[in-house]
Structure 1
Amino acid sequence: MTEKEPIGHSHVSSSVIDTGLCTGCGACVGLCPYLRTHRGSTVMLFDCDRDDGRCRRYCPRMETDWDDLQQALFDASEITPELGAFKGLYMTRATDPEIRSRAQHGGTVTALTCLALDEGLIDGWVVAMEDTPMQPRSTTAFSKADVLAAAGSKFANAPAVAEFNRVSAEGQGPLGVVATPCQAMALAKMRSHPADEDAARVARLKLTIGLFCGWTLDWRKLRELVLEAVKGENILSMDIPPSSHACMQVETDSGVIDIPIDQVNGCVRGCCDYCTDMTAEFADISIGSARSPEGWDVDRHWNQTIVRNKTGEQLMNLAKEKGILEFKDVPPENLAKLKSAAMGKKRNGQANLRRLLGEDNALAS
């Protein structure tokens, strides 16, 4: 009699957590008493002998049939190899001056989340906010004030799916999540193949807004790096401009401090080396910073926005109808550049996975 290969919790532990692939998305947290989020990572408190479990079912780093998942959630005729489901690319920014003043770039994410709350489409949004500098946590925003308090990019990860698991088990209303690519995939796996005990709460997920993401940073390393650079100055904002600038910019009361990107790269979490999704392909709408021939001084106040399905299209149309967003023409070369960057991310992630796990490992396919 041969020993049965583990397929449940122990497989997640050995294949994902122990290998450094775990993204800390939180999909397994709140569903299992043995798993917790601690200081940006998912940790296993006790061993589990279940043959199968929701941790394995929803984990974005376990085996995933991308074709099956895409076709379950999107129009198959609109799926592209580089960007996933694609209905259109837009250049957008919020028209509300208050949102623009609080936002990282164009404020499109904040504007759309506020719109969905105002129109009653969503009762609460899972978002990330910082109580401690550079150490974000996930919370649920129920008002515009809550959303504005969470505005701006967070360069470290927060376990958004764990917060969704928590809040979706309470109440009855529709929910939305602002998600990184790995978090959006976990939510997509929940939506497409929910466990029986999760079907009702997962059905509350009505909108996922995805964030373009090249990597996230270890908050401890980031905080050490930034605090050393600012030398006691009050930090007003942080940003990473296009690669030609080769730096992270930290705005303080005394001006802008540039931190060389090589130093920032030393803070990148190891799990991000294995990511193959730059544009949050499993969201309804995906949003990132803008790029155009006008240059960063202009682009930093705009977003690039991908609409992926009818749900996203309806929200964008409502934003246009209500005057919530301002639109401008997308430079003709942007789509090709975005596709090239996204495909480069896929190839790098897949190559790194094969080096880590071996050519024949199912997780590397």
Structure 2
Amino acid sequence: MSGPVAITAATLQRASEIVRRGGVVAFPTETYYGLAVDPFQPAALERLFAVKLRPADLPILVLVSGPEQLGLLAASVPPLFSVLIDRFWPGPLTLVCPARADLPARLTGDTGTVGVRQSPLAAANRLIAVCGGPITATSANLSGQPPAVTAAEVFAIFGDAVDLVLDGGPAPGGLGSTLVGVRAGRLHCLRAGVVPFAAVEACAAATLSPPLCRSPMAELHWDKATALVETAGDEALLEELLSLFRAAAAEDLEQMRQAVTAGDVAATMAAAHSLKGAAASLGIESIRSLAETVEQAGAASVPAAARKALPVLADLLDQLAAL
């Protein structure tokens, strides 16, 4: 391969022929550059794993042209996902569904699930169209390394190890797609990304009663808050609820401190999300808003946002302790 090529009707046709015969094509998405193979060809998936030096137990995400192609990959689509598809597709929200039994094990990583999204990028959708069906969209990088955001970076990483690099200009970079799954009827954030999980929760909560989309810690507080409403005026239960919140918030705050100290962006965001969920359940807007600021900060800004939030959160917890 001589280098990246511009995206034209001719190069897209060439790309589709490569994918159909089991090859690997790099292409731009709304987050990073991705690597496309036919997700239904085990040999193509084996080559993809070899090219990326990817551990065998990690599943591969897939792009579809729209919800109508979900049945090619998913054994079923959780009802909670329908409203998310309407709101966030096409967009960087990957929905993890139960996988069809006939999908290659390499695609699912033997998890029994498959992650699917619809890209808003025209170039990606044109590639799906000429290939005649879903394509993989794992990021163009060696496993554990930063994903490529330009065609030149892809070529520098892989060279002739990929069959074709389609140059669609720079990709945005930053966070990847948000991964969301369902466990026990509730939404769970499997990976933080471009779409804030708070927005996903809010979208689902607006259509469901009672809310079914809270973090595990927040579920406890929702149950307690419901009991509190049902026994209005029960000051003992109110104190129990506040005690539970103080203990859980203190734990989240300590986890956030450790994550910030270690420079662990993902752990910082996870702690902020858990803290925000509890605060939202109790209607404590000051803490919810502050935690949400940390959770929604861009990857490069999360440590700074968290450091700024820590003393304020500590003060708020002192105020709660005095209730």
**TM-score for the superposition, normalised by structure 2:** 0.22
Please state which structure has a larger fraction of its residues in strand.
1
Structure number having the greater helix percentage: 2
